[in-house]
Chains A and B, each alone.
Chain A
């Protein structure tokens, strides 16, 4: 899966976007709250489509949300 080397800052972005909850973000991107939680915890790497939807929700480039750990 390669889930351990993709980091993200969804938690911080949620906080800076009106303290959006995981459930609210999940609803906006058509995912379950558990999936958002798993992505935040870097346990699950989302598909490109979901990653783009998340970036789009925060109105930032995808590279600002997800990046590869070096």
Chain B
């Protein structure tokens, strides 16, 4: 496994952990799952710390002779960013159209307050990061 592939895995894990932690902190869990909320929060923190330590270790023990990134890594990174960009675009268009719908259709049942929109945008950013890294991992396995 190349260093870039390990970075893709650790980044995927930390993005999932941050998104999970953020989601629980902002929205909480449904009533039926409230018993495992602290366990889940602790799990996300541990996953994030694990990913952080792995990235730190790789950064510290890098060899000066070895090539860290080449054209294949750049190509795969490009595919990841492309998919993340598509997702982010689609998410933003959806969000804007939902806001417009809430504005013009009465009783649409949608409450888009400023904090809510902020949370959705932050969530969309982390989702885009997850899609980016997942795409990279997929292509590292394939080519």
| Residues in A lying within 8 Å of B, measured CB to CB | 1, 3, 26-27, 30-35, 38, 43-44, 46-47, 49-50
- B contacts with A, residue count (CB < 8 A): 15
For residue B107, CB closer than 8 A to chain A, the reply is no
Complex Cα–Cα for A35 and B3 (A): 12
Give the shortest distance, in Å, between A40 (CB) and chain B (any CB).
12
Going nearest first, the 3 A-B pairs with the smallest beta carbon separation are A34-B2, A31-B70, A35-B72
Q: Residue on B with the closest CB to A33?
A: B2
8 Å CB contact of B65 from A3, A27, A31, A44? A27
**Tally of A-B Cβ pairs under 8 angstroms:** 41
Residues of A within 8 A of B71 (CB): 31, 35, 46-47, 49-50
8 pairs across A/B with beta carbons < 8 Å?
A26-B67, A30-B70, A31-B67, A32-B4, A35-B72, A46-B71, A49-B71, A50-B70
Residues of B within 8 A of A30 (CB): 67, 70
Docked-complex contact B67 and A32, CB < 8 angstroms: yes
Complex Cα–Cα for A46 and B75 (A): 11
Residues of A within 8 A of B66 (CB): 27, 32
- A32-B2 CB under 8 A given contacts A26-B67, A27-B66, A27-B67: yes
